Amino acid sequence: MSGNTITQTATSSLSRAARELEFSRGEFDLALRLGCVRSVPDEGGGGRRVARTEIDRVRAEAGFPEALRERVKAVGTTEGAALMGVTSTRFTRLARLGLVVPVKFYLNRYRVVVWLYLAEELRQFAADKQNAPLMSGRTPEGLRGRLEEGLDLRSRNWRGRHMGFLLRQTEDPWARAAVVASLLDPVHVAEIVKDPYERVHLDRLRPEGVSHAAPDSPGARIAERITTADDPDEISWLRADLGQSLREAREDRPAPRPTPNAPSGATSGRTATPSPATPSAGRPSGAPPGAAPPPPTSASPASRPRHAAPHAPLTTPESGRSRRLLGWLRRRNPDACPSTAP
């Protein structure tokens, strides 16, 4: 029996695992994020799957499936406040202070962010006697002052939880660095990751976004604001974490780079095979799909003065160079540039 057949027999797709575990898709996603159900990478590159042994383990747990559903039950502000025995206003204050942490969010039809919290965590918070002063009476003055200043830690705490989930999904150093980079603005990433090929590699490994809205739509922009760090302390911490993750990734292996081009005028006609990990954006016309442009240099069009011609004129007195350039243009082989030496 082949290895692929063994893999398919020993694991199930996420959708099938959700059905066998009697979960809705939302419940199953949370079960994966919280580690209640463990997934494994698909060896065929098709995402993640759930091992049959894991499905059997979960089904054998006491109280299945109701007990497991209760562990992943997520509630909004109104239901969460009722569980804790407080008003919705007080519940929102506790969330803004970071005392209760959201586990997910979505946008309603009015594009308002709706935060969801684990019901089990809310009950535990309310049952802790140390939290009694926060559950009733006047909010302590120090906390009240921070709220008046506009403190709202819901997005930041969600990002921390989200990053933890993503990091648990992989042991690859470059993929882990990409997780950290995904929470930073591209400007911050470029300041830390100065090598353009490393930035390309991190971008290719970037985790899938949490929003299913169309790119550049209002919903997508709102989700992007939530998933991008904006607090100075958080940004500073993530920048340091990205730097450390990048060092570990470099020690493991270098980022993929295109193979150097074949020498100009080579009689064999061979061209370099680009790395499959490089993107196709900015690829010259006629280049193979995996090819990527080299980083800008002083001789590249991006850095050339606007008044400078992009190519030497074909009617130059140096007829030998003109013929070589014209022949190159006719061949339209972007991997073998003509020699410009007189």
CB 222 within 8 A of CB 108: no
Residues 94 and 131: beta-carbon distance below 8 Å: no
The one-letter amino acid code at 230 reads D
- Tell me: do 140 and 165 sit in the same domain: no
**Residue 290: is its pLDDT beyond 70?**
no
Same domain flag for 137 and 148: yes
Average pLDDT in the chain:
80
Does residue 338 register a pLDDT over 70?
A: no
* Type of residue found at 193: V
The answer on pLDDT for 283 being more than 90 is no
- 163/246 same-domain check: yes
Range of the domain at 232: 156-252
**Does 17 share its domain with 61?**
yes
Q: Of 24, 55, 71, which one is at a domain's C-terminal end?
A: 71
Question: Over 50: is that where the pLDDT of 311 sits?
Answer: no
In terms of domains, do 27 and 108 share one? no
Say what percent of the chain tops pLDDT 90: 63
Phi, psi torsion values for 19, nearest 5 degrees: -65, -45
Do both 49 and 32 map to the same domain? yes
In a domain, 314, yes or no: no
For residue 328, tell me if it sits in a domain. no
d(CA 338, CA 129): 78
Same domain, 14 and 44: yes
124 and 188 together in one domain = no
Q: Strand pairing partners for 11?
A: 51
Task: Examine residue 48 and state whether it is found in any structural domain, yes or no.
Answer: yes
pLDDT tens track for 106-151: 999 999 999 999 999 999 999 999 999 999 988 888 999 999 999 9
Q: Global pTM? A: 0.72
Q: Is residue 291 part of a domain?
A: no
Q: For the residues 291-300, what does the mean pLDDT come to?
A: 44
284 contacts 300 by C-beta, under 8 angstroms = no
**Same domain for 185 and 135?**
no
Residue 291 is predicted with a pLDDT of 44
Give yes or no: residues 64 and 113 share one domain. Answer: no
Asked if residue 88 belongs to a domain, the reply is yes
Of 227, 252, 277, which residue constitutes the final position of a domain? Answer: 252
Single residue among 71, 95, 129 that ends a domain in this structure: 71
Q: Which amino acid is at 82?
A: A
When divided into structural domains, the chain yields a total of 3
User: Per the domain annotation, does 103 fall within a domain?
Assistant: yes
Domain match, 59 and 137 both: no
Residue 108 forms part of a structural domain: yes
Give the pLDDT band of residue 9 (cuts 50, 70, 90). low
Q: Is 283 helix (H, G, I), strand (E, B) or coil?
A: coil
- Quickly list H helices, the chain: 3-10, 14-20, 25-34, 52-59, 66-71, 77-84, 88-96, 119-127, 132-135, 141-148, 154-168, 173-181, 186-192, 196-204, 218-227, 232-252, 319-331
Same domain, 101 and 32: no
pLDDT at residue number 215: 84
The answer to whether residue 101 is domain-embedded is yes
Q: Model confidence over 24-36: pLDDT tens digits?
A: 999 999 999 999 9
